[in-house]
Chains A and B, each alone.
Chain A
């Protein structure tokens, strides 16, 4: 158990819909990262927040947005869903902001768009 929690574990929805994925970091960690993992794209970095502020940004689609709240939990919002958005979405947390800070990954949310 990494100490990072993600909800829900599974999510099934239809194209065009909007969903919110939630992540609670390890106690004491200030950084939260979001990754998308699909069979054809591998692990793709989406975005990083540190203590509420956006710190790094990957190739996150404009239909996707995220935020980190004062209690440090984070939400990833996916809207106008397409079939290709079906994937595993991982949240990770770390103590600091740099790449040498070990990232602890949650169990993931499996999103299926029908």
Chain B
């Protein structure tokens, strides 16, 4: 069974770059890795996804090493509004039926 772990929490100051890593083993070899952001009392919101190497969009970058056993979400120059919980999402094809596995979540607090 795929298991995903993330740091429980991180603090950062405005304007800094933040890197959040998710460790995942036994993920499907042909699946994407996706990251979501969640604010209190709201549903998660898509940030970025990738399959391998590096992906960048207007809000974040995602780094995935060749062994795909981890992924790192990079948020450049965070602001107070980036205070949220960040989750990685992977797929687990083992145990006979496909499952979506969210990471344990990292609570990011951005300080002024």
Q: A43-B87, A99-B31, A99-B91 are known contacts. Are A57 and B99 too (CB-CB below 8 A)?
A: yes
B51 to chain A: which residues have CB within 8 Å?
100
Query: Is B73's CB within 8 Å of the partner chain A?
Result: no
| B104 partner, pick from A42, A55, A99, beta carbons under 8 A | A42
Partner-contacting stretch, out of A13-21, A62-70, A73-81, A103-111: A103-111
Given contacts A2-B43, A105-B45, A100 and B99 within 8 Å (CB-CB): no
A99–B100 CB distance below 8 A = yes
Q: Is the CB of A107 within 8 A of B43?
A: yes
A99-B34 contact given A33-B100, A42-B104, A56-B100, CB 8 Å threshold? yes
Count of B residues near A, CB < 8 Å?
A: 25
Tell me if B43 and A92 are in contact (CB < 8 A).
Answer: yes
CA distance A105 to B37 in the complex (A): 11
Given the known inter-chain contacts A42-B104, A99-B100, please indicate yes or no for A108 contacting B43, CB distance below 8 A: yes
Q: With A and B bound together, what is the CA distance between A42 and B44 in angstroms?
A: 12
Provide the bound-state CA to CA distance between A99 and B31, in Å: 7
Q: For A106, what are the chain B residues with a Cβ–Cβ distance below 8 Å? A: 43
Residue numbers in A under 8 Å from B32 (CB-CB):
98-100
Total number of A residues with any Cβ neighbor in B under 8 Å: 26
Contact between B31 and A90, CB atoms less than 8 A apart: no
What CA separation (Å) do A90 and B43 show in the bound complex?
7
By a CB distance below 8 angstroms, the chain A residues around B44 are 43, 90, 92, 103, 105
Residue of B nearest to A108 (CB): B43
Min C-beta distance of A13 to chain B, whole Å: 20
Q: B residues near A, CB below 8 A?
A: 28, 31-32, 34, 36, 41-46, 49, 51, 87, 89-91, 97-102, 104-105
| Supplied contacts A2-B43, A105-B44, 16 more A-B pairs, CB within 8 Å | A45-B100, A57-B98, A90-B43, A92-B43, A99-B31, A99-B34, A99-B90, A99-B91, A99-B100, A100-B31, A102-B46, A104-B46, A105-B43, A105-B45, A108-B41, A108-B42
